[in-house]
Amino acid sequence: MRGKQGGRNDYPSRREKLHAIDERTGAPAARVKEKAQSMNELPFYKMTGCGNDFIVVDNRAGRVAAQDMPWLARKICRRKMSVGADGLILVETSTRADFKWRFYNSDGSEAEMCGNGGRCAARFAFLEGIAGKTLAFETLAGIVHAEVLGDRVKLRMPGASDLRQGVRLEVDGKTVAVDCINTGVPHAVIRVEDIDRAQVVPLGRPLRHHGAFQPLGTNLNFVQRTTDQRIAVRTYERGVEDETLACGTGCIASALVLAAAGEVRSPVDVLTRGGEVLTIHFRQEGPVFTDICLEGGAWCVSRGALCEGALR
For residue 48, the surrounding DSSP H or E stretch is strand 43-49
Same domain, 152 and 176: no
> Does one domain contain both 116 and 214?
no
Which phi and psi (to 5°) does residue 58 adopt?
-80, 105
Which has the closest alpha carbon to 152: 74, 73, 37, 50?
Answer: 50
Q: What is the pLDDT of residue 79?
A: 95
Whether 130 and 225 share a structural domain: no
Give average pLDDT by consecutive 10-residue segment, the chain, 312 residues. 46 48 54 77 95 96 95 96 96 98 96 92 98 97 94 92 95 94 95 97 95 94 95 96 94 97 96 95 94 96 93 88
pTM: 0.81
Whether residues 74 and 125 fall in one domain: yes
Active-site residues, by number, are: 114, 247
Q: What DSSP letter does each residue of 56-69 carry, written as one string?
A: EEE-TT--S-GGGH
Task: Check residue 51 and give its pLDDT.
Answer: 87
Flag whether 4 is in a domain. no
For position 12, what pLDDT does the model report?
53
CATH at 251: 3.10.310.10
Q: Which pLDDT belongs to residue 17?
A: 43
The parent domain of residue 140 ranges over 43-157+300-308
Q: Are residues 135 and 228 in the same domain?
A: no
Give the chain's domain count: 2
Q: What is the pLDDT of residue 8?
A: 47
Tell me what pLDDT residue 34 has: 78
Indicate if the alpha-carbon torsion angle 178, 252, 205, 113 is positive or negative.
Answer: positive
Half-sphere exposure of 108 (CA within 13 A, CB side): 10
